[in-house]
């Protein structure tokens, strides 16, 4: 939650997360260079560094891309999502190291400017095996730079979450460019089937996870609710909602999270104000709906964050009829207080 500017709101979990990531990267690069020098004694140090950094960035990008759909499919992966932006920044730094060493080794010894050399030395766009793969990698690196540079909450707040999320969807373009970069670059010169298989397996994993998650999300979006009376719709049964958790339904083009807590029912928008995280997949902690992504909190009765925080989400009128939860699909203004429906009353309550 944010009520003042902080470069990074460090906490124990973020430190631990970053420590694991950095240790993993250092160990990977050390092993890559060590084994590379042993298995290929003719390889130069620059080549080993270029390949170690490039392969680490490519692997880490796969991890970054898999975290989102894994969390949609299984909530046990949510801790990985918490600090995903730092993973993205590390991916960019590794990619930048790969690119800078590559430019120094292959483009800085001639009479042309290294960047001009990178962009113009190969213009054979018509033949796949000779395609200028380095330019694909450069474009991907520019996108990763844009994302790393705007990854801070400062940009998230100023651009607004929908625009920020749209901008960060460019990572999929960067991924496609990097598949081209690897396939038309490394896999043209290195014919080991292991490399081709590993790249193909990574591609299949990323595509399958995203398509599975998208298919599951679509099923929730398309589920039609029955209008009962006075414009209210029959959302779900009270029993189907676990205590201090929510059922998520799709009404009026967006999702609503219906929470059950302390014998009461409240409905708020499912969309967190921070990064549009799914509030309905969070829990009620200390009386507040807590976003599963980064812990932003909202009071279920008002949709407002507890002071001193100022975020607000829309609230929805609810009724309980014969053990079923009915909701008014028209959202109230963000922060509007609505008395929760009481479960204990028999028959109709509102």
Partner 1 sequence: MIQPLRKTHRRIFLALALLLPLLFLSGLAFRHSWPTPAKPRNSAALQLPPVATP
**What is the contact surface with partner 1 in residues (CB under 8 A)?**
128-129, 162, 165-166, 169, 172, 175-176, 179-180, 183-184, 187-189, 191, 193, 196, 199-200, 203, 207, 210-211, 214, 217-218, 221, 250, 253-255, 271, 276, 278
Which helix (H) or strand (E) segment holds residue 256: the answer is strand 254-261
Q: Give min distance, CB of 113 to partner 1, in A.
A: 29
Q: Give min distance, CB of 146 to partner 1, in A.
A: 17
**C-alpha closest to that of 301 among 350, 256, 254, 265:** 265
Q: 137 or 278, CB closer to partner 1?
A: 278
Give the CB-side neighbour count of residue 144, counting CA atoms within 13 A.
Answer: 30
Q: Give min distance, CB of 160 to partner 1, in A.
A: 11
**DSSP symbols for 123-157:** --TT-GGG--HHHHHHHHHHHHHHHHHT-SHHHHH
**By the 8 A CB rule, do 260 and 269 touch?**
no
Q: Which two tokens stand for residue 303?
A: 């949709």
Q: 21 or 67, CB closer to partner 1?
A: 67
Q: How far is CA 225 from CA 48, 219, 290, 326, in A?
A: 58, 13, 26, 10
Q: Give min distance, CB of 314 to partner 1, in A.
A: 12
Q: Give min distance, CB of 72 to partner 1, in A.
A: 9
Q: 278 or 304, CB closer to partner 1?
A: 278
Q: 151 or 341, CB closer to partner 1?
A: 151
Q: 81 or 343, CB closer to partner 1?
A: 81
């Amino acid at each position: 939650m944010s009520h003042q500017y902080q470069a990074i709101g460090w906490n124990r979990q973020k430190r631990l997360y970053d420590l694991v990531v950095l240790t993993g990267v250092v160990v990977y690069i050390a092993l890559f260079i060590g084994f590379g020098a042993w298995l290929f004694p003719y390889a130069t140090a620059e080549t080993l560094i270029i390949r170690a950094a490039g392969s680490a960035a490519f692997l880490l990008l796969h991890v970054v891309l898999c975290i989102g759909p894994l969390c949609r499919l299984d909530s046990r992966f949510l801790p990985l999502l918490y600090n995903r932006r730092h993973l993205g920044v590390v991916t960019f730094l590794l990619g930048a190291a790969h690119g800078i060493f590559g430019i120094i080794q292959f483009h800085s010894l001639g009479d042309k400017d290294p960047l001009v050399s990178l962009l113009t030395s190969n213009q054979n766009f018509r033949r796949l095996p000779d395609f200028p793969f380095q330019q694909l990698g450069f474009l991907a690196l520019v996108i990763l730079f844009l994302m790393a540079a705007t990854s801070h909450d400062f940009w998230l707040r100023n651009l607004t979450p929908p625009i920020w999320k749209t901008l960060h969807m460019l990572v999929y373009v960067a991924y496609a460019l990097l598949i081209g970069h690897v396939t038309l670059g490394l896999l043209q010169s290195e014919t080991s089937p292991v490399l081709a298989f590993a790249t193909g397996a990574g591609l299949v994993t990323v595509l399958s996870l995203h398509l599975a998650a998208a298919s599951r999300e679509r099923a929730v979006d398309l589920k039609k609710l029955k209008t009962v009376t006075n414009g209210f719709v029959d959302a779900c049964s009270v029993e189907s909602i676990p205590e201090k958790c929510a059922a998520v339904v799709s009404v009026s083009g967006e999702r609503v999270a219906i929470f059950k807590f302390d014998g009461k029912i409240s409905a708020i928008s499912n969309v967190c104000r921070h990064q549009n995280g799914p509030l309905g997949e969070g829990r009620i902690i200390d009386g507040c709906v807590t976003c599963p992504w980064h812990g932003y909190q909202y009071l279920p009765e008002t949709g407002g964050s507890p002071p001193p925080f100022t975020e607000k989400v829309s609230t929805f009128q609810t009724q309980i009829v014969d053990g079923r939860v009915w909701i008014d699909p028209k959202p109230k203004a963000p922060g509007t207080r609505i008395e929760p429906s009481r479960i204990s009353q028999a028959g109709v309550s509102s």
